[in-house]
Structure 1
Amino acid sequence: MSKKLTLQDRLSAWADDLREQAETLAPGPEKDALLQKIAQAEKASELNDWINSPELQPPK
């Protein structure tokens, strides 16, 4: 039986994979696109935390 990953786990793993890929690239549009995806994953993670918090607070 396999363990189901949470959204938080999947976002974190995706961001980690993207960071590894970005580290291998020279500065340029391809690296910039990966860095943008990392930022999106981090924002999605923050929003997920906020949505699932016991006391909803507006995002900062």
Structure 2
Amino acid sequence: MKQTRSLEERMADQAAELKERAHQLPAGAEREALLKRARIAETGSHLSAWVRSPGLQRPN
């Protein structure tokens, strides 16, 4: 299966969807779990973009 969108885009969209679902719920464990998953997806998106950036240098 060939992806038409980048991993970063898919993860950012997933984060936005999770946040939207979370904000429709009352405060509680389920809402917090969705917000946590959204933060993880956002972090993954940012890390993937950083790893793929041309300016990334190998640590010394």
TM-score bracket, normalised by the shorter chain, equals 0.7 to 0.9
Q: What TM-score, normalized by structure 2, do the two folds share?
A: 0.82
- 4+ residue runs over 6 A deviation: none
- Indicate the RMSD between aligned Cα atoms, in angstroms: 1.8
Residues 11 and 45 in structure 1, CA contact (< 8 A), matched pair in contact too? yes
CA separation in 2, counterparts of 1:5 and 1:55? 22
Query: Structure with the greater relative contact order (CA < 8 A, sep ≥ 6): 1 or 2?
Result: 2
Stretches of structure 1 that go unaligned for 5 or more consecutive residues are none
Q: How big is each residue's C-alpha offset from its partner over 1:13-60, in whole Å with a ceiling of 9 and x where there is no partner? A: 1011101101110110000100100110111011111101111169xx
**Identical columns (%):** 38
Q: How many residues align?
A: 56
Unaligned runs of 5+ in 2: none
